[in-house]
Chains A and B, each alone.
Chain A
Amino acid sequence: VSGAADRGASGTGPARRSLAARAVLAGALWIGFWVLGATLVGALAAIVFVQAHYRGALDPGGVVALGIATALAWALRPRGLFARRRERPEPLSPEQHPELHALVGRLARRMGVAPPDELQLGPRLNASFGALREGLRRRRILALGVPLFAALDEAELTAVVAHELGHERGGDVALGAWAHRTRAALARTLEGLEGSAFWLDLPFRAYGWLFLRVSAAVSRAQELAADAGAAEVAGRAAAWWALRKTAVHGDAWDAYFDLSVCPALERGLRVPLLEGFARFVAEPRRSAEVRKALAAAAAQRPSPGDTHPHVSERLRAVDPARRQDLRDPPLASSAHLLGGAAAAEDVWYSRFVHGRLAPAEWGEAAARGLLPDLGEALAGTPLELSRFTLPDVPGLVARAGALWPSLRRGLNVLSPAAQASAVRRAVSGALAMALAARGWVPELWPGAPLRLRRGGAVAVPDEVVAGLADGTLSAAAYEELCAAWAAAPPPASGDG
């Protein structure tokens, strides 16, 4: 199956042959899974049957074979056939979002495919085209992640939509359902056999390995074909930048969402989502946690099971002449397609967040969310505000392990080093609380560590505690720091 063959419009000879070959392969992989399961169960059951039929009794091996056959058959049983479908968020209606619907409709006509039946808003910086079966009818759904509207301009978003419509044009959406079915059956079986005493999961793991390699190779070819379609419709430059931006900012959005947005939501705050992302991307001094998250995301190496080619390969395929720039591309906006940034956020919150949130600016997130949480978490511990003093910090950091029993909550599953790290985070929180109680104003900007300001002075508790822990800040230097903090001018009337 070649990706190059199906880059043209569907209906041409090579494209039709390629589609047929891919359909046969998807079906064969699905049937292969069930043939493997049935063969294993059947072979074991045959031992039992032959022993019982020809010898009149089962020997110990026959009993074991019966047990294994039963366990395998149970793990392979089809599940979820009649399960209720999870409720989907309300689609983006043409009445409320006419510009976006017009754009998608225009592109669909130009590419010779029917417009999707439904437009959905997604939570991540990506897009997808899928189909749901509703009786005999297929409901085709195009989902666009809300951060796309804060990262891409209209031409780049056009390229993303054209890429997804290219999947429909190439027949990938219909075939994808079969790959999904096989993957789901494999996952359910492996979950059922997880930790199997008799390594019953091994044949299915081996099949999963084969399935991923074969199906992922097809999927990667489909992605390259869809990229080529996007470049043809939206232009090479727009398609190239759309790919580059989604790759770079996709990881940033995930880190921003996990480390900044989710904590704020859990604290009941409705923060400005898209403005926060712009701040996160522009933040010059990122917290250690964010740096780690981004480095780990960047550390993921290409694997033969990847459904998408590596971004460098995709960029080369879209525009071989364009030099790859290592700098982070700037954010753009196409939020006007959803009626503006505020309207886009309203749509996102209404679909993905249930429960009441209090509107808050990012500048208020620390004072209204983080500090009350810290106070609650440290209540009743030796780090409680009433028992904690600034000069205690070096001693507390030095005997972090000993402090753990008084701070731990719930089941203890942390190693000694992880316990010490958790204690240091708690000490950092206590230091922030103590400074806030002395009139310092806390700030928690997306991507940045918690900072406290008083006049022109700035304190970063995480960095102070990390310095004391790794020895880059001595106890004497910390004392000097405390003296400087004490001498910091009181907050001006405009602070906070």
Chain B
Amino acid sequence: VKASTRKVAMTRTAATVHDPAGLIAQVAELEPLCADPLVRHAVASGDPFKVYRSLWWARATFRLRAHRDTLRALLRSRRVFAKPEKEGNYGLGSTDGLGVGLVGRDERDDDGTLIKTRVMEFLGIPVFPLSAHVVSVRQEFGEIVKVWFYARVPLGTGWWLWRCLWTGLAAAAVAASAWSALEAWLRSSGS
């Protein structure tokens, strides 16, 4: 039987909130926070990452002041905004310091799972964050030999801001390249 798993929930804040993904059942603390239109909109989108980011913006812009402690607690708990993995495993490994690796040890749980961030590495230094995951790892002699990916979670604030910076730089680089390519083409077609 393929049961429809449409989960629904409601709040009694400003109005009943449409919650197609059942996020309020997973994070009951969201119910009063849905008084904020951006949070409510994010909940209605069904995307837990959007909800996490809307809470971050609410805190950064001093909205929902009455719920400051709840906001802080939720932003520290990325696990509760988990999404299922799209693929069972990810390619990890590097050659000559260039590759993809896992960094961080956040929100370790009693069952041994923790949150790690998948990053692109250059000269062995984490440069660009790709995604964050709830994982469990098997280590031998201090080296990770096997990783199990269970769920995707939002990037931590530091990594997220770092990625925004890189994205901005990359967009600027592409724009500059486009400009210089246009100039080169115009020069060549004029000559």
Q: How far is the CA of A412 from the CA of B16 in the complex (A)?
A: 27
Q: Of residues A258, A298, A299, which shows the largest number of chain B Cβ atoms within 10 Å of its Cβ?
A: A299
Decide yes or no: A47 and B178 within 8 Å by CB, A266-B1, A299-B16 being known contacts.
yes
Report chain B residues within 8 Å CB of A254. 4, 6
- Taking the closest CB of chain A, its distance from the CB of B136, in whole angstroms, is 10
> Of the 9-residue stretches B56-64, B94-102, B138-146, B181-189, which lies at the interface with chain A?
B181-189
- Taking the closest CB of chain A, its distance from the CB of B108, in whole angstroms, is 11
Closest chain B residue, CB of each to CB of A299: B16
Q: How far is the CA of A258 from the CA of B22 in the complex (A)?
A: 13
A141 at the interface (CB under 8 A from B): no
Q: How far is the CA of A266 from the CA of B2 in the complex (A)?
A: 10
Q: Please report which residues of chain A, range 442-489, place their CB below 8 angstroms from some CB of chain B when the two chains form the complex.
A: none
With beta carbons under 8 angstroms apart, the residue of B16, B130, B152, B174 that contacts A47 is B174
- Taking the closest CB of chain A, its distance from the CB of B164, in whole angstroms, is 9
- Taking the closest CB of chain B, its distance from the CB of A66, in whole angstroms, is 10
Q: From DSSP, what is the main secondary structure of chain A's interface residues? A: helix
A403 at the interface (CB under 8 A from B): no
Q: Is the CB of B29 within 8 A of A415?
A: yes
Q: Is the CB of A197 within 8 A of B163?
A: yes
Q: How far is the CA of A55 from the CA of B179 in the complex (A)?
A: 13
Q: How large is the interface on B (under 10, 10 to 19, 20 to 34, 35 or more residues)?
A: 35 or more
Closest chain A residue, CB of each to CB of B74: A415
Q: Is the CB of B109 within 8 A of A412?
A: yes
- Taking the closest CB of chain A, its distance from the CB of B86, in whole angstroms, is 8
B176 at the interface (CB under 8 A from A): yes
Q: Number of contacting residues on A, CB 8 A?
A: 50
Q: Is the CB of B1 within 8 A of A262?
A: yes
Q: Is the CB of A68 within 8 A of B174?
A: yes
Q: Mark A48-84, 1 if CB is under 8 A from B, else 0.
A: 0011001100011110110010000000000000000
Report chain A residues within 8 Å CB of B166. 197
- Taking the closest CB of chain B, its distance from the CB of A420, in whole angstroms, is 8
Decide yes or no: A299 and B4 within 8 Å by CB, A54-B185, A65-B177 being known contacts.
no
B161 at the interface (CB under 8 A from A): no
- Taking the closest CB of chain A, its distance from the CB of B13, in whole angstroms, is 12
Q: How far is the CA of A220 from the CA of B184 in the complex (A)?
A: 50
Q: How far is the CA of A198 from the CA of B82 in the complex (A)?
A: 21
Q: Mark B90-122, 1 if CB is under 8 A from A, else 0.
A: 000000000000000000011101000000000
A195 at the interface (CB under 8 A from B): yes
Q: Is the CB of B185 within 8 A of A50?
A: yes
Q: Is the CB of A64 within 8 A of B170?
A: yes
Decide yes or no: A265 and B8 within 8 Å by CB, A50-B181, A414-B80 being known contacts.
no
With beta carbons under 8 angstroms apart, the residue of B8, B28, B151, B174 that contacts A415 is B28
A418 at the interface (CB under 8 A from B): yes
Decide yes or no: A197 and B26 within 8 Å by CB, A51-B181, A59-B180 being known contacts.
no
B42 at the interface (CB under 8 A from A): no
Q: How far is the CA of A415 from the CA of B17 in the complex (A)?
A: 19
B3 at the interface (CB under 8 A from A): yes
A187 at the interface (CB under 8 A from B): no
Report chain B residues within 8 Å CB of A59. 173, 177, 180
Q: How far is the CA of A65 from the CA of B152 in the complex (A)?
A: 27
Q: How far is the CA of A353 from the CA of B152 in the complex (A)?
A: 32
Q: Is the CB of A418 within 8 A of B18?
A: no
Closest chain B residue, CB of each to CB of A195: B131
Closest chain A residue, CB of each to CB of B110: A405
With beta carbons under 8 angstroms apart, the residue of A61, A262, A416, A418 that contacts B3 is A262
B25 at the interface (CB under 8 A from A): yes
Q: Please report which residues of chain A, range 290-316, place their CB below 8 angstroms from some CB of chain B when the two chains form the complex.
A: 292-293, 295-301
Q: Is the CB of B177 within 8 A of A47?
A: yes
Closest chain A residue, CB of each to CB of B150: A411
A321 at the interface (CB under 8 A from B): no
Q: Is the CB of A64 within 8 A of B174?
A: yes
B147 at the interface (CB under 8 A from A): no
- Taking the closest CB of chain B, its distance from the CB of A76, in whole angstroms, is 18
Report chain B residues within 8 Å CB of A265. 1, 3
- Taking the closest CB of chain B, its distance from the CB of A44, in whole angstroms, is 7
Q: Is the CB of A62 within 8 A of B111?
A: no
Q: How far is the CA of A254 from the CA of B173 in the complex (A)?
A: 51
Q: Please name 17 further chain A to chain B contacts, defined as beta carbons within 8 Å, in addition to the given A299-B15, A299-B18, sorted by A numbering.
A: A43-B178, A47-B181, A51-B184, A55-B184, A60-B173, A61-B170, A64-B177, A195-B152, A199-B167, A258-B4, A296-B16, A298-B16, A411-B82, A413-B151, A414-B80, A418-B27, A420-B28
**5 examples of A-B residue contacts, CB within 8 angstroms:** A54-B181, A64-B170, A64-B173, A262-B1, A414-B80
Residues of A within 8 A of B (CB): 43-44, 46-47, 50-51, 54-55, 59-62, 64-65, 68, 194-195, 197-199, 254, 257-258, 262, 265-266, 292-293, 295-301, 352-355, 405, 411-418, 420-421
